[in-house]
Amino acid sequence: MINKEEINEIIQESKSYLDGQIELNKLKATERVSLYSSKVIVYFILGSITLLFFICSSLFLGFILSEYFTNFSTGFGIISGTYLILLIVLFAFRRKLLGKSIQNKIIKEFYRND
């Protein structure tokens, strides 16, 4: 027969185990949040640098084309038209080109065990 001391010991061990599991899950959640936060910051910085590169490249190409056509509006119009066509194509195929691939990458990152 189980006495009262053994029951109290089992209860204490169960509480210790549950407290340990709660602490472990908190640490795992903190690790995941910090990992994803750092990735978001890195992607934001890379995106900002890429955006600056495209802006400078567009200006450079606009001036080159303006000099070639001897007209500023023609040179920068060609660059603007190219971006407009790219925007229309991306908008038309946004689900195929962007939606699923981004969604799959997020799911893969979330369930990755490392």
Q: Map out the domains of the chain as residue ranges.
A: 4-110
Query: pLDDT band for position 114 (50/70/90)?
Result: low
What is the pTM assigned to this prediction? 0.65
Whether 58 contacts 79, CB under 8 Å: yes
Average pLDDT (71-77) is: 91
CB 53 within 8 A of CB 60: no
Q: 78: exposed, middle or buried (C-beta count within 10 Å: 0-12, 13-18, 19+)?
A: middle
Residue 103 has pLDDT above 70, yes or no: yes
What percent of the chain is modeled with pLDDT above 70?
97
